């Protein structure tokens, strides 16, 4: 679910020709498996009942347990498959949410990468844009 700040960020990126660029690698800190939020039908989970519906519809989410709420009242979850070594003990069966981490979309919904994460998301002009401009420039001089 995109936030107002996320909508502005998206608009600014489009107007400046920039994109979010992902760099880095996993440091196996386990932070992405702790204190995360889940959504269903493009809505953040706020109730135990909503979480039970999510698990009923998508049993792979039974790996998460509610560990509290954030300042906005949204449910916060930990993954029960995270071992003491900060590795997933069910890696081959992890849900798509985990496979897609880190997803650039978290910045459009008001989220951020967890502290200590080895990934970094920055704003920049994609290489393809620079390449296309260089090709157009050299092609116009022929």
**Alpha carbon distance 123, 103 (integer Å):** 14
On the question of pLDDT at 2 being above 70, the answer is: no
| 127 or 101, greater pLDDT | 101
Count CB neighbours of 107 within 10 A. Answer: 20
Which of the listed ranges 7-16, 65-74, 119-128 does the model predict with the highest average pLDDT?
65-74
- End-to-end alpha-carbon separation of the chain, Å? 48
In terms of domains, do 92 and 37 share one?
Answer: yes
Domain that holds residue 132: 1-26+102-137
Q: Domain for residue 36, yes or no?
A: yes
In terms of domains, do 96 and 110 share one?
Answer: no
In terms of domains, do 83 and 130 share one?
Answer: no
Give me the pLDDT at residue 119, please.
94
In terms of domains, do 56 and 69 share one?
Answer: yes
Residues 6+ apart with CB under 8 A from 27: 116, 117, 118
Q: Domain for residue 18, yes or no?
A: yes
Q: What is the number of structural domains in the chain?
A: 2
On the question of pLDDT at 6 being above 80, the answer is: no
Q: What share of the chain is helix, strand, coil (3-state, %, to 5)?
A: 40, 20, 40
73-108 pLDDT, tens digit each: 999 999 999 999 999 999 999 999 999 999 888 888
Lookup: tokens for 26: 């996993």
In terms of domains, do 14 and 48 share one?
Answer: no
| Residue 126 pLDDT level (bands cut at 50, 70, 90) | confident
23-67 pLDDT, tens digit each: 999 999 999 999 999 988 888 999 999 999 999 999 999 999 999
Give me the pLDDT at residue 68, please.
96
In terms of domains, do 54 and 108 share one?
Answer: no
Scan for tokens 């792979």, then name that residue.
60
Q: Domain for residue 85, yes or no?
A: yes
In terms of domains, do 10 and 70 share one?
Answer: no
Give the pTM. 0.75
């Amino acid at each position: 679910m995109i936030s107002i700040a996320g909508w502005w960020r998206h608009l600014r990126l489009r107007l400046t020709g920039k994109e979010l660029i992902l760099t880095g690698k996993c440091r196996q800190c386990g932070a992405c498996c702790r204190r995360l939020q889940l959504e269903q039908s493009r809505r953040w989970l706020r109730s135990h009942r909503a979480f039970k519906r999510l698990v009923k519809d998508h049993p792979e989410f039974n790996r998460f347990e509610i560990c509290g709420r954030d300042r906005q009242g949204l449910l916060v979850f930990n993954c029960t498959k995270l071992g003491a070594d900060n590795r997933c003990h069910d890696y081959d069966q992890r849900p798509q949410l985990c496979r897609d981490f880190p997803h650039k979309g978290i910045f459009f919904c008001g989220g951020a990468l967890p502290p200590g994460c080895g990934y970094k998301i920055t704003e920049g002009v994609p290489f393809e844009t620079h390449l296309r401009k260089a090709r157009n420039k050299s092609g116009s001089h022929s």
